[in-house]
Structure 1
Amino acid sequence: MAEGAPEPRRRFSPRGLLRTVHRDAGNLAVGLTLVYAASGLAVNHIADWDPNFKNHEFTHELGGPLEGDDQAVAERVLQKLNIGDKPSDVYRATPTELEITLDRRTLHVDTQTGKVLDEGQEPRFFLRLANWLHLNRGKKAWTYVADGYAVLLLLLAFSGMFMLPGRKGLIGRGGIFVLVGAAVPIAYVVLSGGP
């Protein structure tokens, strides 16, 4: 090509445009897909585990009987365990057991032996946030983000179907996969009896 001559113009290609749109939409969807996929897997098995919190149980030995009124015993237990939180409730469960209720944590104190059973929950950081977003607990603005993501997934599905021509595309192997993908929810509804 002679120096200074204009480059030849590329011809417009609908499939090329689809590939570009599909690639860019796919890259844009990665972060949200990770959030929704992780949350979906976690919430699908909610009967087997708590996807938002993990439970813990520890035993502490404070060494001997704890005497005094309930508030004084509670203060001493919290001090010995280096817990700075203020209890929401302190009460006698039995004559020898004092319950100290904290946020997401309960201390069961045996006042005769000084043994403390510490039961509680700790948030599963990523999954709790992912579930909060997936279940749309944030409402308002997140609804628009979730709707935008749904439209993005539709765009990915449709652009993917028409990207390849011929036997690898919609009239060949691609069409078979589309039919199988559509058949899965239909078959499940039919076989399960539906809602």
Structure 2
Amino acid sequence: MKKINWRNLHRDLGYFYIGLIVSFALSGIIQNHRKTWHPEKYTVSTKAVTYALPKEEALLTEDFAKDLGKKLGIEDEFRRSRVKDGKFQVSFEKNDVEFDLATGKGEISSFAKTPFINHIVELHKSNSNFWIYYSDIFAISLITIALTGTIMIKAGKFSWKQRGWKLAVAGIIFPLIFLFLLS
């Protein structure tokens, strides 16, 4: 039986998964900043509109917002509406509408998905059975890459026994600190 060459396995898995590693890393960065920057969509156009809104805030219901969207020619799925700081805000899947309650003047902002960025984010969030199994294999391969990396340097000051285990422990402790601080 042929002996496993861990160095070759480490190298070949790294080469095979380089595209996915880079895609997941970029997607992870994008996801980390999703509250301050909306990378999945960008503004395509804005259009000024005027509409006579009801004077009573209680009449600015979800049904009113859906009907208003239809009257404004917005056909995409309704998400939510609210009144905040003297503004009536309505959010649809591809459009946001905001009206000044006092003047009835408003603006429709239309959005489209950002090419490439949207695709890698969707890849990161995919729920398809095929992708789940492929991602599981990828995760196991990353574990293999990590473990084979620990045995590649046999001796010396940069070996696992001398230095590697200390860095690995630090690498485990660092995210655990954040996990406990953020929960």
User: Which TM class, normalised by the smaller chain length?
Assistant: 0.5 to 0.7
The separation in 1 between residues aligned to 2:95 and 2:125, in whole angstroms, is: 25
- The number of residue pairs the alignment matches comes to 137
Q: Which runs of 5+ in 2 are unaligned?
A: 49-68, 77-93, 99-106
Q: AA paired with 1:160?
A: G
Query: Does the C-alpha gap of structure 1 residues 19 and 179 become closer, same or farther in structure 2, counting only changes over 3 Å?
Result: same
Output the CA distance in 2 between the equivalents of 1:27 and 1:46. 30
**What letter is aligned with 1:32?**
L
1:127 aligned residue: 117
Q: Which amino acid aligns with 2:147?
A: F
* Aligned residue number for residue 28 of structure 2: 40
Q: Which whole-Å deviations, capped at 9, do the CAs of 1:132-161 have from their partners, x for residues lacking one?
A: 121123x21111111011011001100001
Closer/same/farther in 2, CA of residues 107 and 13 from structure 1, 3 Å limit: closer
Q: CA deviation at 1:118?
A: 5.8
User: Please, which of 147, 159, 162 is the counterpart of residue 151 of structure 2?
Assistant: 162
**Identity score, percent:** 22
Tell me if the contact between 2:46 and 2:110 (Cα under 8 Å) persists in the aligned partners: no
Alignment check: 8 A CA contact 1:100 1:107 kept? no
1:101 maps to what in 2? 74
Computing the radius of gyration from Cα coordinates, the structure with the larger value is: 1
RMSD (Å), alpha carbons = 2.7
Distance in 2 (CA, whole Å) between partners of 1:131 and 1:193 is 24
Per-residue deviation, 1:20: 0.5
Closer, same or farther: CA 161–118 of 1 in aligned 2, 3 Å: same
Deviations 1:10-65 (A, max 9, x none): xx876xx11101100100111111221111111111110222111233459xxxxx
Residues of 1 paired with 2:96 and 2:13: CA distance?
47
How far did 1:106 drift? 7.5
Quick one: distance in 2 between partners of 1:100 and 1:120? 12
Distance across 1 between alignment mates of 2:152 and 2:122: 35
Q: Which residue of 2 aligns with 1:147?
A: 136
Q: Distance in 1 between matches of 2:41 and 2:131?
A: 23
Q: Distance in 2 between matches of 1:107 and 1:49?
A: 19
Q: Return the alpha-carbon distance in structure 2 between the equivalents of residues 182 and 49 of structure 1.
A: 29
